[in-house]
Chain A
C-alpha cells in the first residue's frame, strides 16, 4: 500500500475512534489517536495477516500492551475486515463484542487480552520464543505506552528479550509524553528513555510516530537486525489529529460528546480530503 493510502487509512482509523467513543460514553481517545499512524502502518503494510483466518498459525502477532488504546486496534481490525464496522458502535456496551480493553476470547483478530499495563512485552516475548522453537518466520509486534514503562515488568521483559536474542520481535513505544496524572516527566520520569533501552542491549530506532514513511523504514530496518530485539521510540502527540485533544492530559480517558465529536470529525474529514 502506498504512503498516501496508508495516510488515508490512518485518517479513517482516527475518524472511527471518535465515532465509536460517542455511544460508548467512556474510553480513551488520546492514546488511541497518538498510535493511529503506527497501527495503520502495521495492519495495512507491515504485518503478514489474513482477516479471513484470524488464528492462522503463521501470522504476525500484535500485542496492544497499552490496552486502553483498544479503539485504535478495533478501528484497524474493522477497517481490515475482521468484523463488521457496525460492531464499533457497540463498544463498551453490555453484551457486545468490543470490550473496554482487548479480549482475545471475544474479538477476532485480537492476539492477546490486555488492559493491565506492563504485561504485554513479556507476552510478546513468549510468542517470539514460540516462533523460534517452531522454526516459524512470523514476527511479533508490541505497542507500549511511555507511562507504562514505569512498570518493573517491562524491564524484566526487556532484559529477557535481549538475553534470548529475540530479533523476531519489534516493540513500539508511543512516546507521547503524557499519562493520566500529568506529563510523564513530572509523574515518573523515564529519562533518558532511549539510552535505557540501549543499555538493555536493544536496537533502538528513534522515529517520528506520525511519519508513515519513516515508520515503514524503521520497521524494515528492524527486520534486518539480527541477534537482538528492536524498539521504535516513536515520538507522538497525544490526541493527534483533533486540535482540541492534542497534548491535553484531560483527553486521556474521557469520551467526546456528540458536539465535540462533530467538531473532531469535521477536522478529520478535512484532513482526509486534503490527502486527495
Chain B
C-alpha cells in the first residue's frame, strides 16, 4: 500500500469530469477552494463557480436556491463549517424540501491534525444522518471518492460526502464499483467482522492481516454508504461472524457504529465493539500521532477484535 492520495484531490478531479459532462453542475465554495480542491473547477468553468466568501450559511442557502431552479450544486467547505455553521440551512432549506444539493465537505475528522479541535469535525456524520432525505457517504480512498461524486450527481436529492485532508492509501482501482446504499465486503472471514469507513478501512485491512497471522479470520466490510445503510449485507456478515467491530474517524455517538448497532440491536443482536472517538474532542498534532493517541490505530483495532471475540 505504498501509493497514497487524498480523497479531496479525487473530488477536485471528479468535478472536472462533471463540469465537462453536465452543464447543470455548479460549484460553490466559502474561501477554501484551494483546500477543498474546487479551485480547478473554478478556473475551468468560472461562470459556474461561486465563491461566497467566509459565509457558510449563505453558501448552503444559495446552493438550495440554485437547486430549486434546476441546477446541481456542489457546495464545499471544511466539514465542521459546512455541516456545523450551516446546519439549520441544510435542515430547512435543503433536506426538508429535498433539494438536489451535494454537500461535499473536506477536512473531516481528527486527521485534520495541526489546526486542532476547533477544526476537526467528529459529529458531522451523526447530524447529517439524523436528517430525513439526506444521503450520507464516507469514501475510503480516491477511486471510491471519484465514483461517489459521479453517483451523487446522478442521485436526485441531497447528499453529504465526507472527505479528509490527509493522503490515504490507495485501495481500489477502476474495477471497484461504488453504489449508494451498498456496503462492500473487501475480505471474507468467519470469526469476526470489522465494519469501517473512511480512512479506517485501510487500518481495518491491516488489522485483519495481523490477526490472520494469529489464525483469526476477519471479514472487512467497507460501509461507505452510511445512509442508506446496506442492512442486507450487514446482517449477512454479522450472521456469519457473530461478532462485529465498527471503526470510524468520528465520535462513537451517532456515526457508523451507532447506525450498525441500531440495525443489529433490532434485527440480530450481536456482540459488538465500537472503535471511534470516545465522546471527546480532538486536539492539535500530527495526524497519525493523533489517530494513535485517540485509539484509532491498527493495534487498537486488534484489541477491539479480541474484545469482541471474548463476548461471543
Contacts and interface: CB of A to CB of B under 8 A. Distances in A.
B284 A188 contact: no
B119 A188 contact: no
Given A93-B286, A179-B31, A180-B31, A114 B118 contact: yes
A101 B113 CA distance: 12
Find the residue from B31, B39, B57 having the highest chain A CB count within 10 A: B31
Interface string A228-265: 00000000000000000000000000000000000000
Nearest to A91: B284
A97 to B, nearest CB: 10
29 contacts: A24-B114, A26-B113, A26-B114, A26-B115, A92-B284, A93-B285, A94-B289, A94-B290, A95-B293, A99-B118, A100-B114, A100-B115, A101-B116, A101-B119, A103-B117, A115-B116, A116-B81, A116-B84, A147-B31, A150-B31, A150-B58, A151-B57, A179-B54, A181-B32, A181-B33, A187-B31, A188-B51, A188-B54, A188-B55
A152 B55 contact: yes
A27 interface: yes
A151 B55 CA distance: 5
Chain A contact-residue range equals: 20 to 34
B80 interface: yes
Contacts of A108: none
Contacts of A148: 54
Contacts of A136: none
Interface of B: 29, 31-35, 39, 51-55, 57-58, 80-81, 84-85, 113-119, 283-286, 289-290, 293
B118 A101 contact: yes
The 5 A-B pairs with the shortest beta carbon distances in the complex, nearest first, are A188-B53, A94-B285, A115-B118, A150-B53, A100-B116
A217 to B, nearest CB: 30
Contacts of B114: 24-27, 92, 100
Interface in A91-132: 92-96, 98-101, 103, 113-118
A92 B53 contact: no
Contacts of B32: 180-181
A113 B284 contact: no
A68 B81 CA distance: 15
A151 B31 CA distance: 11
A188 B116 contact: no
A99 B51 contact: no
Contacts of A115: 115-116, 118-119
Looking at B35, B81, B285, the one whose CB has the most chain A CB atoms below 10 A away is B285
B54 A100 contact: no
A181 B58 CA distance: 17
Nearest to A117: B54
Given A94-B289, A118-B55, A181-B31, 4 more contacts: A99-B283, A100-B116, A187-B51, A187-B53
A187 B32 CA distance: 11
Contacts of A27: 114
Contacts of A114: 118
Interface of A: 24-27, 67, 92-96, 98-101, 103, 113-118, 147-148, 150-152, 179-181, 184, 187-188
Nearest to B33: A181
Given A94-B289, A99-B283, A147 B54 contact: yes
B81 A100 contact: no
A116 B80 contact: yes
B31 to A, nearest CB: 5
Point out which of A113, A115, A151, A152 has the most chain B C-beta atoms below 10 A from its C-beta: A151
Nearest to B293: A94
Nearest to A26: B114
A158 B80 CA distance: 24
A99 B54 contact: no
B116 A150 contact: no
Contacts of A180: 31-32, 34-35
B116 A181 contact: no
A94 B111 CA distance: 12
B284 A94 contact: yes
Contact of A188 (B31, B35, B286, B293): B31
Contacts of A26: 113-115
B141 to A, nearest CB: 24
A95 B115 CA distance: 13
A179 B53 contact: yes
A66 B251 CA distance: 27
A27 B115 CA distance: 8
Contact of B284 (A100, A118, A152): A100
Given A148-B54, A151-B54, A181 B34 contact: yes
Contacts of A95: 285, 293
Contact of B118 (A94, A116, A118, A150): A116
Nearest to B85: A116
Nearest to A94: B285
By CB atoms of chain A within 10 A, which of B32, B54, B117, B284 has the most?
A: B284
